[in-house]
Amino acid sequence: MKFSTSRENLLTPLQQVIGVIEKRQTLPVLSNVLIKLEGTRLEFTGTDTEVQLLTHSSAEFGDHGAITVPARKLLDICRQLPEHGTVNVECKEEKFSLQCARSRFTLVTLPADSYPNFDSGEAEAEITLPSRLLKRAMDKTLFAMAVQDVRYYLNGLLLEVGGGLVRAVASDGHRLAISEEAVDTGDAPPRQIIVPRKGALELHRLLAGDLDEALTLQIAANNVRVLLPDFSFAAKLVDGRYPDYQRVLPKDVNRIVAVTRDALKAALTRVAILSNEKFRGVTLELDAERMLLRAQNPEHEEAEDEVEIRLEGEGVEVGFNAAYLLDAVSNCDSDEIRLSLSNTTHSCLVEDVENPRFRFIVMPMRV
């Protein structure tokens, strides 16, 4: 394989694929990026066998072929090359030689046929939607995913497709985030899939580009594929059943609190400074016109703050994890938010008043 291209035509796709390549791999080839040249199309593939990303750029001229190269070394080299420099590459005798201006580098390669194939399977459902809708749904939910929970199905993002909706749901067992977007799902039957944590985070990062582009979501038996003009992303699905999150939505709500988002966020941030570092508990004492926030820690230090509210229903005192409640409040966009409660042992529903598609559930705690 031999080709010439610009430094940017190497750097940009390498920056995209590096996210799916683990630093420490049991198989040496998985630390490499697969580079293919067909005509003037230069393809880059990265995988850890659970997640795969394929992106592309162009070469001015060259001899077609395929090879795998250490991904991070090649990325570091390209970052240090002069901007808009012309890069000449030649692969010969298991060596990848790169030359740009007066700089020359040689990397050891592994054969392309040793690179693992990602079995995408046949798509059972397919929908097309604006990428900004999926990005927005993930913006509002990813923070609530579990991290290395023994309930492995919580270490991922639930996507529900069908019935004219794409719904994203994430939970770590203590809080839950739901985001819905209306899209044309056609006649396809409703589907539930769990995208693993790494796959969800990587896809979210990739969707930071042109959000007006349409993406195609293909769902197969054990994986999901996302197709955009610039890249193709695939992830194996978590094999498990997600809990019935509808059961944790508050029933028989008898207390509704209207509060200014920025005021509650600022008060929570201040009071949380003196909360227990391990449990992060804060107490909310509600009456008709005010919310009193209190926190204390094992050193007997105390914090107290007050926020104006409008309360429908009887006053109550309830405790929450300050970090969880802050995450929910911070992800609301409207100036005023609504908190719905039934009693001190049931979950609290946090809603964005201007955008009811986003809902957040926070479980109470003893403080």
Residue 367 domain flag: no
The beta strand positions in 163-254, using DSSP E, are 165-171, 175-182, 191-196, 214-219, 223-227, 231-236
Q: What is the pLDDT of residue 201?
A: 96
A 10 A CB-CB count for 80 gives 10
Please indicate, yes or no, whether residues 8 and 80 belong to a single structural domain of this protein. yes
Residue 305 domain flag: yes
- Number of domains making up the chain: 3
Residue 309 domain flag: yes
Side chain identity, residue 349: L
Please indicate, yes or no, whether residues 267 and 296 belong to a single structural domain of this protein. yes
Residue 206 domain flag: yes
The radius of gyration of the chain's CA atoms, rounded to the nearest angstrom, is 25
Please indicate, yes or no, whether residues 131 and 188 belong to a single structural domain of this protein. yes
Residue 119 domain flag: no
Q: What is the pLDDT of residue 348?
A: 93
Please indicate, yes or no, whether residues 36 and 84 belong to a single structural domain of this protein. yes
Identify the domain containing residue 205 by its residue range. 125-245
Does this model's pTM top 0.85? My answer is yes
The total number of residues written for the chain in this structure: 367
Q: What is the pLDDT of residue 209?
A: 62
Q: What is the pLDDT of residue 210?
A: 59
Q: What is the pLDDT of residue 24?
A: 81
Please indicate, yes or no, whether residues 204 and 235 belong to a single structural domain of this protein. yes
- Residue ending a domain, among 86, 114, 142, is 114
- What the block records as the tokens of 297 is 């820690």
Distance CA 173, CA 97 (A): 51
In 3D, which of 231, 211, 240, 167 has the Cα closest to residue 19? 231
Q: What is the pLDDT of residue 226?
A: 96
pLDDT means per 10 residues, the chain with 367 residues, are 95 96 87 95 95 95 90 97 95 94 96 89 88 93 95 96 93 95 84 96 86 88 93 94 89 92 97 92 94 95 96 93 95 95 86 91 86
Q: Are the CB atoms for 34 and 113 separated by under 8 Å?
A: no
For 73, residues 6+ apart whose C-beta sits below 8 A from its C-beta are 107
Q: What angle do CA 303, 304, 307 make, to 5 degrees?
A: 145
- Residue ending a domain, among 230, 245, 260, is 245
- Residue ending a domain, among 221, 245, 269, is 245
CATH code, domain carrying 190: 3.10.150.10
